[in-house]
Structure 1
Amino acid sequence: MKASADAGLPQAQARQQALERALAQAIFEEARRMLPGPVSHERLDALRAHFAPMAQGYVLTYQEVLAAKPQDGPAGGTAVSIAPSPHATAASALELEVDVEANRPNLRLALARLGFFAGPPQPLGFVLRLGAGVTEKEARELASANLLLGIAPGKADASQQLAEVSLERLPQGYYKAVLRQGAKALVADAASLPALWLDIWGKYFVETQRHAGPGMQRLHVAGFTGVDAALELLQTMTAWDEAIQEAKLAVLEMDGATVGAQFTCRVINQQALDKRLGEALASRKLRLAGQAGLTAP
């Protein structure tokens, strides 16, 4: 992933800025690849802005691919390392390219908490109740968070059973939220209202198991040459973030000279799974012997 620093910065500062931007862009691109379906440009911009200050927390490792170099250097020239100096300045912006390994499980959980794996409707409606210490002005300032979360204020409607969120500021100085929907009730508190808003909805999206797609499925695959081959396919499946989640090996079966395996997974995009599975089985000369939905969450 490439990124540039602002022109005119001291060498060390420019290099650090370019690195931070490259890592942030790499994490954003990794997150975007995990999404199960199309997302509006506005919501993607909100996601980019949300991850930018915390991107390094999702980086496992990174390696510089190209040394820092002026953007307007000679075309096709060899990348040359520039020794960082706190007193040096760059007339033109420095560019840095890094190869990043992201913490995919943590990134996937963050996206789930932000509602990116929730199914329709989009945006998801809710009813807001303001309690003591929370003003209408503060509530309006949550609009950018609503865009990020894929939610929007609505009106109470018995036919829809919208989630209802109550906000209040306690005498101790912190904020409290209670989210209710049907028999479900979730509670959160935080020092700031924006942090509280992300936390209570994060709990909602994760704990109520709101997911896009048809849900849990069992895949029966036949023709493995051994157990290691089945485990290798499972490892491959864990990277199909745009198609499935929670891939697990449920059963191994000996079938004469070959091995069969049953995998369970949560399908969030059936078309993407069919494409991925078809390619994976064809390249390994395997056969899909069965595919069925599961009622278990």
Structure 2
Amino acid sequence: MRKFRYTILLALAIACFVANSAIAGKVQVFMPKHEDLSPMALRNKAMAEGFASAVLEEANVMLPAPLKELRAEAFKEYMQKHAKPYIQGYKILSVQDIEEGIILDLEVKVNRRSLRTGLKGMGLFVTSVEPLSASVIWPEDWSETWGEEAMSKLHSLMILTGIQNTPEAYPAFKLEAGPENSFKGRLETDNQEWLSVNKDLAEVWFGLWKRYFSQEQAEQIRAGVRKLTISGWFSPDGVLEFDRVLQSWESAVQEVKLVELDMQPTGVGGAWEMRLISGERLDMLLRSYLPQRGLTYQLAEDAEE
């Protein structure tokens, strides 16, 4: 029996390319005319919405469950000003000026690696299926300090992050007035506390929650690593092809690594280590893909350290 561990350079190169490459998708945006916007400003606003829509589409592919309507709208609203780090390139396919406004067709390349990192920091991998119970506390004189627009933005951020405001629950996010009309946020857990001050409420919010979710997801990763072993191929090419397929199942597994190629007289097998996102989703995908190709698999509860 010949086994090659961690030396399958071609397979790993393919895996890295597939996992990190930018994905091009087409989006269409209608932007109604507004008397306060010049034609160029109107087009820029349409492009911002197009970028946000493209990022949302890719996020829904990556996450364990697509964002529901209200949350998707909050995501798009946020991304209209924050999508730039996730856009690797774009092409304007067409612009139609009509009486009511403009119709813009775009081809947008979204960088999956940077988006995955961003989604983790926003906590969406943790809360996309079930909300997180936490307490969110703000000053009683909120409207006098920041105005109703800021309150609306806070509620939108809570919806986007998947926070279910629960009095006296931990973690606890506390907001108060900072210097020079800024926002001062404090995030407390049972044993830690983080602070952030910024004039942009979203920067304070995500700056703090990113720290919390990075710890939460680190614990999930340690508990969620699995090893998938599959046998029954006739050649190594089949293993490499399935590696590409497995990398694309991001709603079920992530951080996929081909770690073993097993070549025997009776056939070829492969083994992968991965972080399990949805066991039910993975089982459905494996059952729909493997049996018809004469392949069998085994999923170990925990990968060996």
1:240 equivalent to 2:240? Answer: no
| Residues 11/143 of structure 1: CA separation in 2 closer, same or farther (3 Å cut) | closer
* Residues 124-154 of structure 1: per-residue CA shift (max 9 Å, x gap): 2224577xxx666269663322111111332
Q: 1:25 aligns with which of 53, 69, 79?
A: 53
Matching residue of 1:291: 299
Q: Does 1:274 align with 2:283?
A: yes
Q: 1:226 to 1:206 in 2, by over 3 A?
A: farther
- 1:156 equivalenced with 2:168 (yes/no): yes
1:186, 1:204 within 8 Å by CA — same for their partners in 2? no
- 1:190-237 deviations in whole A, cap 9, x for unaligned? 32344212111122112221769x933211111334445433322322
- 1:144 is the counterpart of 2:171: no
* Cα distance change, pair 39–69 in 1 and its aligned pair in 2 (3 A): closer
What are the Cα deviations for residues 144-198 of structure 1, in whole angstroms up to 9, with x where unaligned? 22111111332336xxxx2234556677987665534344x25242323442121
Compare relative contact order (CA 8 Å, sep 6+) and give the higher one, 1 or 2. 2
| 1:168–1:251 distance in 2 versus 1, CA, 3 Å | farther
> Which blocks of at least 5 consecutive residues in structure 1 are unaligned?
71-89
- For residues 50-61 of structure 1, what are the structure 2 equivalents within 5 Å? 50-61=78-89
Using the size of structure 1 for normalisation, the TM-score is: 0.73
Paired letter, 1:189:
S
Check whether the contact 2:29–2:104 (CA below 8 A) recurs between aligned residues. yes
- For 1:197, the equivalent position in structure 2 comes to 205
Counterpart residue number, 2:116 = 108
Describe how 1:1-297 pairs up with structure 2 within 5 A: 1-7=27-33, 15-37=43-65, 39-64=67-92, 66-70=93-97, 91-118=99-126, 122-127=130-135, 137=142, 142-156=154-168, 162-165=170-173, 177-183=185-191, 185-192=192-199, 193-209=201-217, 215-256=224-265, 258-281=267-290, 285=293, 287-294=295-302
SS of residue paired to 2:249: coil
Amino acid at match of 2:166: G
**What CA distance in whole angstroms lies between the structure 2 residues aligned with 1:13 and 1:241?**
36
Q: 1:256 to 1:148 in 2, by over 3 A?
A: same
Q: CA RMSD in A?
A: 3.6
Q: How far is 1:17 from its partner?
A: 4.2
Shift of 1:100: 2.4
Identity %: 26
Deviation string 1:6-44 (CA, Å, 9 cap, x unpaired) is: 348876555544433322222222212323125442222
Q: Write the deviation string for residues 105-142 of structure 1: whole angstroms up to 9, x where unpaired.
A: 22122222222211599432224577xxx666269663
One-letter amino acid of the structure 1 residue matched with residue 298 of structure 2: G
Report the counterpart of residue 85 of structure 1 in structure 2: none
CA apart distance, 1:291: 0.9
Note the alpha carbon deviations across 1:262-292, whole angstroms, 9 max, x for none: 1122222223222322344357x25233112
Higher helix share: 2
AA of the residue aligned to 2:79: F
Q: Which amino acid aligns with 1:36?
A: P
Q: Conserved in 1, the CA contact under 8 Å of 2:66 and 2:128?
A: no
Structure 1: distance between partners of 2:76 and 2:195: 25
Q: Following TM superposition, by how much is the alpha carbon of 1:46 offset from its aligned partner in structure 2, in angstroms? A: 0.9
